[in-house]
């Protein structure tokens, strides 16, 4: 999906000061319109973080555009455990076939107290995502309850362009516990087209 103007505006409202933080983007997050910053036209979120001097990694299965090649549908290497303070996911998780491992990996790579920010398809048959998962606010509320995450925000917002439709915007703070079992995960309100 990428970073639309509404995504960027929502992100700026919840990001803490970035000094000393380690950030991970799920996907090589591209701006729908290049971000104008310090006289430059930036195409990817990593360009913005690089200009700020923030420690940043992009994860994507294809390893393109500077992303670290990781398959989130399989257990992630232990060297990533508790590594990141901030995670952004603006149209990545819905593409991962093994949802249990995706969400377990998200949990495991985050440091306790880490901020997880997701904006994912929030309706059936989201444009150009007809074979993907989609997420209700109830999915994230259930995930937060089972995992002991603190909910900062869960809501739906509408994308006007380039993919028009409802997305679920969520901001969670990780606790300090292990991820649930696959059987517990199956009780969440996960949807697939």
DSSP H or E run through 119:
strand 110-121
The residues near 118 (Cβ < 8 Å, ≥ 6 apart) are 88, 89, 90, 93, 135, 140, 168, 169, 170, 171, 172
Among residues of the chain, what percentage have pLDDT more than 90?
87
Q: Which domains does the chain have, with CATH numbers?
A: 5-192 (3.40.50.150)
Q: What is the pLDDT of residue 160?
A: 83
User: Which one-letter DSSP state was computed for residue 154?
Assistant: E
Closest CA to 193 of 126, 103, 120: 126
Please state the rounded mean pLDDT for residues 158-174.
91
Q: What region does 102 belong to: left with phi over 0, alpha with psi -120 to 50, or beta?
A: alpha
Scanning 39-155, the segments in alpha helix (DSSP H) are: 45-52, 99-109, 137-147
- What is the value of pTM for the model shown? 0.95
CB-based contact 21:117 (threshold 8 Å): no
Q: What is the pLDDT of residue 74?
A: 96
In tens, the pLDDT along 71-130 reads 999 999 999 999 999 999 999 999 999 999 999 999 999 999 999 999 999 999 998 899
Q: What is the pLDDT of residue 69?
A: 94
Dist CA 110 CA 87 (whole Å): 7
């Amino acid at each position: 999906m990428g970073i639309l103007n509404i995504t960027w505006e929502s992100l700026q409202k919840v990001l803490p000061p970035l000094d000393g933080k380690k950030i991970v983007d799920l996907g090589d997050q591209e701006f729908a319109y290049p971000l104008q910053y310090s006289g430059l036209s930036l195409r990817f979120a990593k360009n913005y973080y690089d200009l700020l001097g923030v420690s940043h990694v992009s994860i994507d299965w294809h390893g393109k555009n500077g992303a670290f090649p990781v398959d989130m549908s399989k257990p992630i290497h232990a060297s990533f455990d508790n590594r990141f303070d901030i995670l952004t996911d603006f149209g990545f998780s819905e593409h991962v076939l093994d949802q249990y491992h995706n969400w377990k990996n998200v949990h495991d790579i985050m440091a306790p107290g880490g901020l997880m920010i997701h904006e994912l398809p929030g309706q059936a048959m989201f444009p150009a995502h007809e074979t993907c998962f989609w997420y209700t606010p109830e999915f994230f509320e259930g995930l937060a309850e089972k995992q002991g995450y603190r909910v900062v925000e869960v809501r739906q917002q509408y994308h006007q362009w380039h993919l028009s439709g409802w997305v679920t915007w969520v901001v969670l703070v990780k606790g300090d516990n292990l991820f649930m079992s696959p059987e517990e995960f199956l009780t969440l309100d996960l949807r697939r087209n």
